[in-house]
Amino acid sequence: MAGPLGGPPQGGGNAPRTIVCDTSVLLAGGDPRSTAEDAVYITPGVVGEVRRDEERERLETLRATGLAVRAPAAGPLTAVEQAARATGDHERLSAADKELVALALELGAELLTDDRSMQNVARHLGVPYRGFAQAEIQGLWHWQSRWRCTGCGKVYGKEPPRRECAICGHAVVKKHWRVPRGEAAGP
Ligand SMILES: [Zn+2]
């Protein structure tokens, strides 16, 4: 079934959106922001689930470019627990999954996830949601970054010791830029 079953996404057009984003979206390298004004949130539980270096790096890049981490309040978490029991999805949801739905409920945000159980619970609570894999999602970006010396311009594949250039000793800083999905990379 296609379409935002939990209700229409807020805003539409170019209005800034508030989005709570499932882990898989971020680890796929995606960023659901379509404008700089869009606010994207994840939860501490999601951060805790990220283990691989490459994934940590991706998360760090997203945080450096504005991704916010916020824990839901107790009330919304309880509401999600109750809804998950009511829909029978309780056993299929991790603590991090429940946090994400609860934060979307708390912030009045749109939940971005392909997880059916999370979608079920969101619908039960009247939280608007969309699937990441759905073609309707606009403005999906991924970030690229690199370390570059502010002196000689040498590019480093990863953070150099003390963030110092091995050639000239100037500071090496991380630059981020984003490219639409499927397009060629470039600063
Ligand atoms: Zn240098």
Dump pLDDT digits (tens) for 145-180.
788 999 999 999 888 999 999 999 999 998 877 666
pLDDT at 141: 55
- Say how many Å lie between the CA of residue 171 and the centre of ligand 1: 7
CATH class of 18-130: alpha beta
Average pLDDT over residues 81-86: 94
CATH code for 143-180? Answer: 2.20.28
> Which of 11-15, 128-132, 153-157 has the weakest average pLDDT?
11-15
Q: Taking the model in full, what pTM does it have?
A: 0.69
Two structure tokens written together for 104: 């979307």
Q: Which run of H or E residues covers position 10?
A: none
- Say how many Å lie between the CA of residue 172 and the centre of ligand 1: 7
For the chain, the structural domain boundaries read 18-130, 143-180
Contact (CB, 8 A) for 66 and 40: yes
Residue 164 and residue 85: Cα distance in Å, rounded?
A: 53
Burial 38-70 (b: 16+ CB within 10 A, else e): bebbbbebbeebbeeeeeeebbebbeebebeee
- Say how many Å lie between the CA of residue 65 and the centre of ligand 1: 24
- Say how many Å lie between the CA of residue 62 and the centre of ligand 1: 26
